[in-house]
Structure 1
Amino acid sequence: MPSRPWTGYGRFCPLARGLDVIGERWTLVIVQELLKQPYRYGALLDRLPGISTSVLSDRLRRLERAGVVARELGAVGAGVMYTLTARGRELEEALGALRRWGVGFLADPTADGSDRQDFDVTYVQGIEAVTDGQFQLVVDDRPATLYFTEGRLRQEPGAAPGAELIVRTDSAFLDRWAAGHSGWDEGRATGEVSVEGPAAAWPRWLAATGYLLRVEPGTDDGLVMEEGRHD
């Protein structure tokens, strides 16, 4: 049976009015992706496995009508890009609070059928303190590249040249890390995390991926990096 169209709460209340705009399924996830950067429709669809084209089109249309999302012309050949307006970017702080609240529900990331490949390590606080650069994270032999640019962090699938540090682990460790049951240094001590790159880059990794500040930024003078290791 098709779902009934969203009609809102019908309440003269700022919370209810806000939820009238962003309260439908997938809406905040779309905003979350657009907080990273503008996307073409097809690229945004690829980043949201499980969403249908009709739902994505509907949510973008509603967000655009509410002044949260705008369409703009990208570079030559890039076509139309969807981007957040200034009003849309105001949701960043609220989404950060919601992510911090949601960490408590990550104890079993696959209990509801979630795909570990969708897990993103970029939801951190204090990222503006990390200087520009890039890292590579390899989970179960699947690489992703983390880019730091002007105080923002985004994660893209695949390996890219120029990573100052390559961090390798498996999904079992990443599950425990996400739930707050382990840390990067602990993973290195147990052999579940291996690192390629200069020792000086490790504190930057901790600062950049100290998920919700559970891992405190800092230095470790006793680091022995696994330079040149390809396991």
Structure 2
Amino acid sequence: MTGPGASAKTKKWTCLGLAGCLESGPMKGYGQFCPVAVAAEIFAERWTPLILRELFAGSRRFSEIRSGMPLISRTLLSQRLRELEDVGVIVSTPLARGRGREYRLTPAGEEFREVVERLGAWGQRHAPQQFAPQNLDPALLMWAMHRRIDVSRLPKPRVVVRFELRGVPARCIQMRVCWLVLERSGADVCVRDPGFEVDLVVHADVGALARVYTGHLSFTDGVRAGGIKVEGPRALVQEFPRWLLRSHFAEALKPAGSKPGALASAHAG
């Protein structure tokens, strides 16, 4: 059959056939050889960017990785770690002592660093839901803060800070009271009383503290607005804001052209 009508009909049939091929049934991946598609099948799985964030921030053990993602189940985290190892993004080795494994990024995994950097910077500048009530996870906030303490500034070998938080989501009610134990060798976060004498007590709205940590609000402004109150010896109260470093992603709020930092150490956050 010839003529314009036949040509149009054939063209229409071809397009419908192509669409039918693309919609032939459920698939785990995108079914494309495009490098964006195949990379997204690895990176864009739920929780995977956060697992990479934790590895870039220095977490090595299963428990450390999960501490940065309190809502992920142990089963799903194990599955995601296996998947990342299967595709060569991470490698795991048995711990030298005790049970468990240690996880490290491969050279291929390290190449995701810039992706995570840019994703976090975009979220810091543009994501309107960053401080929505359901996102104000105090467990994540305290875990992130404990990695960003400048312990070299501590005035004595150990400083214990008790946090009493307001505005905590109902699912995180057990985190209304927690402690940071700061020593020159490092910092720990505790959800139970560690048994040491408390040097400082921080009363804070979790949203205000999150804004201070991420660089959206200065510590001074947080205090002036009533979102944060620090009690304790005057010298320690004055020094406390100097120990608390901002999130790595706070630099994304600097004017265009400023040099970004890097997620390169165990104290990144």
- Say whether 1:95 aligns with 2:102: no
CA deviations 1:31-52 (Å, max 9, x no partner) are 1222231013x55446534434
| Structure 2 SS opposite 1:120 | helix
Cα distance in 1 between the residues matched to 2:237 and 2:60 = 33
Q: 1:212 pairs with 250, 253, 259, which one?
A: 250
Unaligned runs of 5+ in 2: 1-25, 166-175, 255-269
- Larger of the two Rg values belongs to structure: 2
The Cα shift of 1:178 comes to 6.7
Q: 2:163 pairs with 135, 138, 161, which one?
A: 138
The Cα shift of 1:12 comes to 3.2
Q: 2:241 pairs with 202, 206, 219, which one?
A: 202
- Say whether 1:7 aligns with 2:29: yes
Return closer, same or farther for 1:211/1:80 CA change in 2, 3 Å cut-off.
closer
The residue type paired with residue 209 of structure 2 is L
Return closer, same or farther for 1:214/1:52 CA change in 2, 3 Å cut-off.
closer
RMSD: 4.3
Would the aligned equivalents of 2:180 and 2:190 in 1 still touch at CA under 8 Å?
yes
Cα distance in 1 between the residues matched to 2:198 and 2:108 = 34
Cα distance in 2 between the residues matched to 1:97 and 1:84 = 18
Deviates more, 1:60-69 or 1:90-99: 90-99
Return closer, same or farther for 1:105/1:179 CA change in 2, 3 Å cut-off.
farther
Return closer, same or farther for 1:137/1:87 CA change in 2, 3 Å cut-off.
farther
The Cα shift of 1:77 comes to 1.4
The Cα shift of 1:186 comes to 0.5
Return closer, same or farther for 1:181/1:133 CA change in 2, 3 Å cut-off.
closer
The residue type paired with residue 212 of structure 1 is A
TM-score, normalised on structure 1?
A: 0.63
Cα distance in 1 between the residues matched to 2:71 and 2:143 = 21
The Cα shift of 1:24 comes to 1.1
Deviates more, 1:53-62 or 1:115-124: 115-124
Would the aligned equivalents of 1:107 and 1:176 in 2 still touch at CA under 8 Å?
no
The Cα shift of 1:189 comes to 2.5
- Say whether 1:169 aligns with 2:204: yes
Tell me the residue number matched to 2:172: none
The Cα shift of 1:78 comes to 4.2
Cα distance in 1 between the residues matched to 2:44 and 2:119 = 13
Tell me the residue number matched to 1:51: 72
- Say whether 1:30 aligns with 2:51: yes
RCO comparison, higher one (Cα < 8 Å, 6+):
2
Would the aligned equivalents of 2:68 and 2:143 in 1 still touch at CA under 8 Å?
no
TM-score, normalised on structure 2?
A: 0.56
CA deviations 1:14-34 (Å, max 9, x no partner) are x33322321111111111222
The residue type paired with residue 81 of structure 1 is E
Tell me the residue number matched to 1:185: 220
The Cα shift of 1:101 comes to 1.0
The residue type paired with residue 174 of structure 1 is L
The residue type paired with residue 80 of structure 1 is R
The Cα shift of 1:119 comes to 3.9
